[in-house]
Amino acid sequence: MTGWIKLHRQIMEHWIWEDSKRFKWWMEILLLTNHTDKKVFVGGKIQMIKRGSFHTSEVKLSERWNVSRNTVRKFLKLLQNDNMITTKKTGNGTTIEVHNYDVYQGNNEVKKHENEQQNKQETEHQHEHVRDNEQNTTKNVKKEKNYKNVKNEKKEKNHSAFDFFQNNGFGFITQYTAEDINYYLDSFENDSDEIVIAALKLAKDRNKVSWGYTKGILNTWLQTNLNSIDQVKFFELQLKEMRKNRNTSNQFQKKELTPEWLENRQYKKPNILKSNIIENDENFNKEVAAFKDKLNKKWD
């Protein structure tokens, strides 16, 4: 990255000067901003990013500043509220426009003069450190290569949630859906891409292939303050164990409510009616015999 920006002494009277960390972030935003119109490849398309703007994402800035996406989002919101920048979110990141960019990047004549001064200073600086640079060239090249590899891996990961969505029957990603997905990617502090994919997988495994159902899962995780894929996995395992224990408890209660005597239906009925009938028959026969004897005596 080459070039320069200019600062007025009035910056020392600005609120951002009082916060060294945020002042550094603001300086990086100014340095990242395009000083001329520039074509960039974004989301499979070539887009023109105007002078005074640059395309990035909350993910990239959080990695660059080593803070959470939520912190990045709050800082950008703070700059917007003070009318210092405007942000425009898309399905492939965020475009930041710096207000009054000409204040920091002047006209061509001023540029030429200050460029000469800058080049002179850079040349002197290079002469002073040429020996150190020669000794560390191999080390720096290797470090830069490793950094680029890690950065590319993270960049690929950032798009895998969108890829999983489209490749697993959830439908076409509209602008509204893309903004939704980006919201959840920005809401989880760590492993956000893996967390969104995990929610999509759960929805698919439950035959609920819809973004609405997936959002319900993600909202539950957010409300539970889960901030990493490990916490999500542990939470889901706990839920599964609770359901298993609840089902086992229901089966146990059902079995206990069934009386033991009712389970064993092979019991012998007492022969109460039969004994009564036999006893009644003997009395009846005696009465009949006595009645017959009485009749015989009457007619003799």
- Per-residue tokens: 58: 């909350």
Q: Is the pLDDT of residue 79 over 90?
A: yes
Q: Is residue 80 part of a domain?
A: yes
- Note the pLDDT of residue 269: 44
Q: Which of 40-44, 116-120, 187-191 has the highest mean pLDDT?
A: 187-191
Show Cβ contacts of residue 43 under 8 Å, excluding neighbours closer than 6 positions. 90, 91, 92
Helix, strand or coil, per DSSP, at residue 224: coil
Q: Is residue 2 part of a domain?
A: no
Same domain, 54 and 156: no
Q: Which of 59-73, 120-134, 145-159, 166-180 has the highest mean pLDDT?
A: 59-73
Residue where a domain terminates, one of 106, 141, 166: 106
Same domain, 69 and 152: no
Q: Is the pLDDT of residue 71 over 90?
A: yes
Same domain, 68 and 113: no
Q: Is residue 1 part of a domain?
A: no
Same domain, 117 and 257: yes
Lowest mean pLDDT among 63-67, 219-223, 280-284: 280-284
Q: Please, what is the end-to-end C-alpha distance for the chain in angstroms?
A: 149
Same domain, 22 and 74: yes
Same domain, 262 and 284: no
Interval 278-286 mean pLDDT: 61
User: Greater confidence, 252 or 41?
Assistant: 41
Same domain, 249 and 140: yes
- Note the pLDDT of residue 155: 45
User: Can you give the CATH number for the domain in which 116 is found?
Assistant: 1.10.10.630
Which residues form the domain of 67? 9-106
Contact of 165 with 178, CB cutoff 8 Å: no
Same domain, 169 and 137: yes
Q: Is the pLDDT of residue 129 over 70?
A: no
Element (H, E) at 56: strand 53-56
Show Cβ contacts of residue 7 under 8 Å, excluding neighbours closer than 6 positions. 104
Q: Is residue 191 part of a domain?
A: yes
Q: Is residue 3 part of a domain?
A: no
User: Can you give the CATH number for the domain in which 54 is found?
Assistant: 1.10.10.10
Same domain, 242 and 231: yes
Contact of 240 with 202, CB cutoff 8 Å: no
Q: Is residue 55 part of a domain?
A: yes
The number of folded domains in the chain is 3
User: Greater confidence, 247 or 250?
Assistant: 247
Interval 212-228 mean pLDDT: 92
Same domain, 174 and 206: yes
Q: Is residue 141 part of a domain?
A: yes
Same domain, 283 and 236: no
Q: Is residue 154 part of a domain?
A: yes
Nearest alpha carbon to residue 181 among 167, 160, 207, 201: 160
Q: Is the pLDDT of residue 206 over 60?
A: yes
Give residue 267's pLDDT band: very low, low, confident or very high (50, 70, 90).
Answer: very low
Same domain, 243 and 174: yes
Show Cβ contacts of residue 213 under 8 Å, excluding neighbours closer than 6 positions. 203, 206
Contact of 205 with 244, CB cutoff 8 Å: no
